[in-house]
Structure 1
């Protein structure tokens, strides 16, 4: 069976007289879609892009663990899944198969691919866009419902310009999903996040190369477990209303507003990629035309669609009241995720200011980040922030910039800045 979708809405539907802005958090959960049976799972294709630049040999554990991780990913593929392995340097080179095509996974091709991977050597530069360009070419020859790439790098994208990388990402957008990972101490968080954001994947950094095999297995299992492809978040708004923004806010912050594909004058689709058994939260903000006190209107209709089928649907309402106790009540979910989105933003802004030597702005932004992490109970982010600032008082956001910070500490804080935690809902009181 494919995943079964359900949705629930958290909002305060009450607006004051003349109020226009309606905010809602929609939680979508897909269950029963983590499939391993090749007869019922979606068809899939996977390209593994492994950095083999010279720095991967410093230390040699990086290239050694990258080989192990690639072998693990190959073993995790279902029989019949088309795959290829690409070595990335200042160019992109086929490791397996030997020519520019993909082959179905089976005992023979897995063994051949792992043998080819075992012979990899680290030598050359880094041009991530060229790796992705080859992956795009390979995927173009496949009819698979889920097209997934893993990109591993240990360094900066030194052998092409940001504009060149952007052109490739624009060409790849919507063609396949890519999870990007950095290993070691010299990768750049903004580059990994750009790749993952554009290609609807995830980004992260691994301090210890020994973490690579488990990471590659996890990413491949997630791709193999997808059961519904090309899912879009569809939002309908009434005449006179307009979308202020649409964001994914869990498990990570992802701005979707600019990705709108217009279905009609009042309906827009926002791509969300493929789904397995998982749960995601979205923040929808709509500006509506004010109505009279006591009136209730439909502010938006939210649905998930795939291949013309509606997977789940929920309504976002607006009701005007002169009761200030109702209209001023802040919905905990909306407040929580508004803070989580701000948390991601101030971390990125603070680290950028720090890199530019603006200590005052960096201190203010990172102090606010510490305060928000403390308020939301985001312990993982709080621990990362403590690696770049000395926390004097978390509740007030009083911090001092650390004089000496390892580069990887700042990059880990940056790349994980968009990861969010869910609000802790209060349990109903007994009695």
Structure 2
């Protein structure tokens, strides 16, 4: 199901819904993948504002190569700022201090201000603690006078958020949500991956790490190029449910996984809106799950249970523009086993990507707790899922931790003397997903044709012996035998 519309003087987006509507009357959840693509957007023509938040706590000088890399990477990012971009550099410790400009405002990029900012970045020194919320609060204050700009922060840290409470940190995140986007990077081996993933989940960014201090310069350049290439401040997914239907979750599932459910805004009339942040020419996929009730509904026909539509905030604008016709989400109640065991290929793929992320992170937790057998089992599961889906980024990270004996079967051996940076890379990168391969859309998975019914360990639903994924929730079923 597809819908696309181009408006004069407005960006062009396409919206596609992929689902299998068939559901047994004993089931109660409908899953669908919503694919959104931005076409022909003018790269980097909108007003832009950038704040670079650099951890300068005492640990950044242990070893000194971390702070040196931060100085160099910040200078490299400054060099990429085109003339006219509003920007600032902030030193982050247990507080936030202006590095450039000297006063709490954004400078305008030109040859002179870029040179001054590079010089200021070269004078960064370490000392103090870590209160990441104060850094984000400062960025929010700097962005506040510029509501029409596409606002982005780049945050670098080497430590845990130890100098403010969790409640304080969450309050700051809530205040910043929807105001600007943030990409977060970890350096060294003392930071907490879940903190970075929490930041970017709320602030619609990406989290990753520099395995080597020298890698930071090119990573900063990559992040800045992407941020400055965006020209649409926000794209919002609107879901309007029909009576008897409610939203269980809505998540971004590609290119990175991010749960948007709790960030939705109730517009009334059973309509919820989920902001996805700034866009450039790109594609993203989202998974929506709806709770439904078969009571009183007709069977053996397609029934609309919700509709999804895009609303785009144009550059420099405050009001959003609704694009395209609404696309329906359907349910078809039936007891036909051949129909209800059909799982949409995209839904199955992204359910598998979620399982992959969970397995990577669970292995990290097990290893940190001293449970090396548990780590091997979970990383083996992750290798199997990554191999099955073609997630080469996850496999690259996992190979630093395990010897892969049989990727398809998930047989691995944990390497000796694992480095903390490689462990952190797996944990923070666990949310990076891959799109479904075209071949997986065309060809069904090979399955056994005989055997006993299979019970999902995730939700308890019984599936037929031919199923590789649960017919209700889409999770991978345990191998038979």
The verdict on a shared fold, with TM-score over 0.5 as the criterion, is yes
1:3–1:409 Cα change, 3 Å:
same
- CA distance, structure 1, for counterparts of residue 72 and residue 367 of structure 2: 36
1:179 and 1:219 in contact (8 A); partners too = yes
Tell whether 2:67 aligns with 1:27: no
Alignment match of 2:135 (pick from 131, 135, 152): 131
Alignment match of 2:299 (pick from 277, 293, 305): 293
Tell whether 2:399 aligns with 1:386: yes
Counterpart of 1:418? 431
1:235–1:182 Cα change, 3 Å:
same
1:2–1:184 Cα change, 3 Å:
farther
Residues 165-190 of structure 1 deviation map (CA, whole Å, 9 limit, x = unaligned): 33322332222111101123333211
- CA distance, structure 1, for counterparts of residue 285 and residue 177 of structure 2: 22
Question: Does 84-93 or 385-394 show the bigger shift?
Answer: 385-394
- CA distance, structure 1, for counterparts of residue 409 and residue 442 of structure 2: 30
Question: Does 389-398 or 195-204 show the bigger shift?
Answer: 389-398
Tell whether 2:321 aligns with 1:309: yes
- Measured after TM superposition, the shift of residue 55 of structure 1 is 3.2
Coordinate RMSD, CA, aligned: 2.3
- CA distance, structure 1, for counterparts of residue 207 and residue 13 of structure 2: 26
- CA distance, structure 2, for counterparts of residue 223 and residue 99 of structure 1: 24
Alignment match of 1:55 (pick from 53, 59, 65): 59
2:84 and 2:109 in contact (8 A); partners too = yes
Tell whether 2:31 aligns with 1:15: no
Runs of 4+ in 1 over 4 A off after TM superposition: 400-403
Counterpart of 2:222? 218
1:2 and 1:33 in contact (8 A); partners too = no
- CA distance, structure 1, for counterparts of residue 172 and residue 27 of structure 2: 43
Tell whether 2:331 aligns with 1:318: yes
Alignment match of 1:190 (pick from 185, 188, 194): 194
| Higher relative contact order structure (alpha carbons within 8 Å, sequence separation ≥ 6) | 1
Alignment match of 1:86 (pick from 84, 90, 97): 90
Tell whether 2:158 aligns with 1:154: yes
- Measured after TM superposition, the shift of residue 251 of structure 1 is 0.4
Tell whether 2:211 aligns with 1:199: no
SS in 2 for 1:84: strand
SS in 2 for 1:214: helix
- Measured after TM superposition, the shift of residue 200 of structure 1 is 1.2
Provide the TM-score with structure 1 as the length reference: 0.91
Residues 275-295 of structure 1 deviation map (CA, whole Å, 9 limit, x = unaligned): 111100011111223232332
Counterpart of 2:144? 140
Tell whether 2:410 aligns with 1:404: no
2:211 and 2:422 in contact (8 A); partners too = no
1:158–1:293 Cα change, 3 Å:
closer
- Measured after TM superposition, the shift of residue 63 of structure 1 is 2.5
- CA distance, structure 2, for counterparts of residue 25 and residue 423 of structure 1: 12
Counterpart of 1:352? 365
- Measured after TM superposition, the shift of residue 408 of structure 1 is 0.9
Q: Which runs of 5+ in 2 are unaligned?
A: 1-8, 313-318, 444-481
- CA distance, structure 1, for counterparts of residue 24 and residue 250 of structure 2: 23
Tell whether 2:235 aligns with 1:231: yes
Question: Does 366-375 or 157-166 show the bigger shift?
Answer: 157-166
1:3 and 1:277 in contact (8 A); partners too = no
Counterpart of 1:371? 384
Q: Which runs of 5+ in 1 are unaligned?
A: none
Residues 227-273 of structure 1 deviation map (CA, whole Å, 9 limit, x = unaligned): 22132111111101111221111001111112221111411111211
- When the two structures are aligned, how many residues end up with a matched partner? 425
- Measured after TM superposition, the shift of residue 196 of structure 1 is 1.2
